[in-house]
C-alpha cells in the first residue's frame, strides 16, 4: 500500500479542443514546482497523480502545489487493490473510530462488479461492524471516507480535500508587466493576473538616496514571493530620483504625484514593449488614494500609446486586498516601514481631481524625453 497525491484541476475542464495547450502548461508548472523532489507525474482522465515520492516529502509537496494556479483540490490517498477486502483494510486507516460519517464512492472502472452506491453501502457496513461508536449521516457527517475505483485493478482511498490555488495555469494568457511598489496592493495585483494564467514580470521605481536600500530589498522580497505563484519573474528597478527633483524644482507641488505617475507609465510601456509584455498591470483601487481618483487614473492613462492597463483590484476595498495579501504570504513584507518613491517630496495637499490642461502646462516645463532616457540608463535587472 503506497501513498499517492491526487491533483484535480480547476477551470481546465471547461476547455474544448485546445485543452491540450492548457494541460501542457499545467503539467510544466507542476513539474517546476516540484523541482528537486523525486516523484513521477501521471495524467489520468480529469486529474493527475503524483507518485513514487518519499513519504516524508508529502507536506513539502502539498505546500508547493498550493501555489500552482490551476489546481482546484488535492488529496493524499492510499493506493490499494480494487477488491472490497483490500479497500476495507485501507479505509480503516482513513476512518475515525467515532462520530458521524458517510462513504462516497466513484467507480471509474465500469468493469468493477459493484455500483458506486453498492460500494458505499458495503464499505459503510463493514466500518460500522468494527467501530461501534460510528453513526451514518449522509447529510452533515463529521467526516467522509472517499473511494475511487480506477482502471488497472487499483483503488484510491482518502479522507480529505486540500484546497488549491484555483485559476488558470500560468503561461496560458500572455505576459504582463507589473508596476510593483513596496506596498500591499501591487503584489496582490500581480498575483491576481498570474491566477488568470498570465506570466508576470515586474518593474519597480525607486528614489535612492531619498529612499534607503532596505526599501529596495523589501520590493525584492515581494517579487520573490510573487515568483512562487508566477513560475518565476524578472524584476527591473529604475531610478526616478532625477525626475522627482525636476518636478519639485519646476512644477506645481500639488501635481507632483500625477506628473510622476505619467513618467512611470511612459517608462513602463516602453519597457513592456522591449520585453514582449502585452499589457501593464497596476495595483490601483478606485478612490483609495489621491492619485487613484478617476481623474488621476485618466491622466496617467493618457500617456499610454498602445498597451492596455489592467487594474485587477480596481473595485476592491482595502480589507479585501489585505486578505489576499495575507493569503499569498506578502502582507508581513508589505507592512515593513520602508518608504517608496511616491512618498518623496509628497505635497501636503495633492490634487485629487487634476485637470489635464493643467498637467500638460506643467509637463511642458520638463525635458520629458531626456528624463526618460536617463531613467532607462539606471535600470538594473534581477531574475527569480
Spell out the residues 6+ positions from residue 179 whose beta carbon is closer than 8 angstroms to its own: 186, 203, 204, 205, 264, 268, 280, 281, 282, 283
Q: What is the pLDDT of residue 287?
A: 83
The segment(s) of the chain belonging to CATH 3.40.50.620 are: 175-383
Is the N-terminal amide bond of 373 cis, ω within 30° of 0?
no
The predicted-structure confidence for 134-191, as pLDDT tens digits, reads as follows 999 999 999 999 999 998 899 999 999 999 999 999 999 999 999 999 999 999 999 9
pLDDT at 10 over 90: no
Q: What is the pLDDT of residue 15?
A: 78
pLDDT band at 348 (very low <50, low <70, confident <90, very high): low
Give, in order, the Cα–Cα distances in Å from 242 to each of 188, 294, 353.
29, 27, 25
CA atoms within 13 A on the CB side of 312: 22
Choose the weakest-confidence range: 4-18, 271-285, 316-330, 361-375: 4-18
pLDDT at 354 over 90: no
What CATH fold (topology level) applies to the domain 2-163?
A: VC0802-like (3.30.2130)
Cα angle value 356/359/364 (rounded, 5°):
125
Q: Alpha carbon 21 to chain centroid distance?
A: 20
pLDDT band at 339 (very low <50, low <70, confident <90, very high): low
pLDDT at 282 over 70: yes
Mean per-residue pLDDT over the chain, rounded: 93
Q: Which residue did the predictor score with more confidence, 232 or 337?
A: 232
pLDDT at 92 over 90: yes
CATH number of 175-383: 3.40.50.620
* Helix (H/G/I), strand (E/B), else coil: 9: strand
- In the chain, the percentage of residues whose pLDDT exceeds 70 is 97
242, 211 Cβ separation under 8 angstroms:
no
Indicate yes or no: pTM above 0.85.
yes
pLDDT at 13 over 90: no
pLDDT at 125 over 60: yes
pLDDT band at 344 (very low <50, low <70, confident <90, very high): low
Q: What is the pLDDT of residue 352?
A: 75
76, 3 Cβ separation under 8 angstroms:
yes
Q: What is the pLDDT of residue 95?
A: 96
Q: What is the pLDDT of residue 78?
A: 97
The segment(s) of the chain belonging to CATH 3.30.2130.30 are: 2-163
User: What mean pLDDT is predicted for residues 46-75?
Assistant: 96
User: What mean pLDDT is predicted for residues 366-379?
Assistant: 96
Spell out the residues 6+ positions from residue 329 whose beta carbon is closer than 8 angstroms to its own: 225, 228
pLDDT band at 12 (very low <50, low <70, confident <90, very high): confident
User: What mean pLDDT is predicted for residues 376-382?
Assistant: 95
Amino acid at each position: 500500500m503506497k501513498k499517492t497525491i491526487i491533483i484535480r484541476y480547476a477551470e481546465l475542464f471547461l476547455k474544448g479542443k485546445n485543452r491540450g495547450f492548457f494541460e501542457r502548461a499545467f503539467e510544466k508548472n507542476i513539474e517546476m514546482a516540484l523541482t528537486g523532489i523525486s516523484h513521477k507525474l501521471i495524467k489520468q482522465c480529469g486529474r493527475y497523480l503524483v507518485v513514487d515520492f518519499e513519504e516524508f516529502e508529502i507536506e513539502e509537496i502539498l505546500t508547493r502545489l498550493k501555489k500552482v494556479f490551476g489546481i482546484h483540490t488535492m488529496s493524499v490517498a492510499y493506493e490499494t487493490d480494487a477488491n472490497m477486502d483490500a479497500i476495507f483494510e485501507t479505509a480503516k486507516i482513513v476512518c475515525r473510530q467515532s462520530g458521524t460519517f458517510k462513504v462516497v464512492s466513484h467507480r471509474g472502472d465500469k468493469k468493477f462488479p459493484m455500483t458506486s452506491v453498492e460500494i458505499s453501502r458495503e464499505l459503510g457496513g463493514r466500518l460500522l461492524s468494527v467501530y461501534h461508536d460510528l453513526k451514518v449521516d449522509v447529510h452533515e457527517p463529521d467526516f467522509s471516507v472517499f473511494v475511487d475505483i480506477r482502471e488497472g485493478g487499483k483503488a484510491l482511498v482518502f479522507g480529505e480535500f486540500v484546497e488549491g490555488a484555483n485559476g488558470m495555469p500560468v503561461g496560458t494568457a500572455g505576459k504582463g508587466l507589473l508596476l510593483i511598489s513596496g506596498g500591499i496592493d501591487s503584489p496582490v495585483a500581480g498575483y491576481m493576473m498570474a491566477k488568470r494564467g498570465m506570466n508576470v514580470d515586474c518593474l519597480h521605481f525607486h528614489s535612492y538616496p531619498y529612499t534607503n536600500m532596505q526599501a529596495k530589498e523589501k520590493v525584492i522580497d515581494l517579487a520573490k514571493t510573487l515568483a512562487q505563484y508566477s513560475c518565476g519573474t524578472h524584476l527591473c528597478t529604475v531610478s526616478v530620483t532625477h525626475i522627482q527633483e525636476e518636478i519639485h524644482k519646476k512644477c506645481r507641488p500639488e501635481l507632483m504625484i500625477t506628473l510622476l505617475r505619467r513618467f512611470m507609465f511612459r517608462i513602463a510601456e516602453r519597457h513592456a514593449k522591449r520585453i514582449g509584455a502585452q499589457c501593464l498591470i497596476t495595483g490601483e483601487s478606485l478612490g483609495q488614494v489621491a492619485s487613484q481618483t478617476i481623474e488621476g487614473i485618466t491622466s496617467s492613462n493618457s500617456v499610454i500609446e498602445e498597451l492596455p492597463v489592467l487594474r485587477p483590484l480596481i473595485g476592491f476595498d482595502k480589507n479585501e486586498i489585505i486578505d489576499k495579501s495575507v493569503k499569498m504570504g506578502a502582507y508581513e513584507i508589505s507592512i515593513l516601514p520602508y518608504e517608496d518613491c511616491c512618498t518623496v517630496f509628497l505635497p501636503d495637499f495633492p490634487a485629487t481631481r487634476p485637470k489635464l490642461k493643467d498637467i500638460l502646462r506643467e509637463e511642458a516645463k520638463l525635458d520629458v524625453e531626456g528624463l526618460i532616457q536617463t531613467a532607462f540608463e539606471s535600470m538594473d535587472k534581477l531574475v527569480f
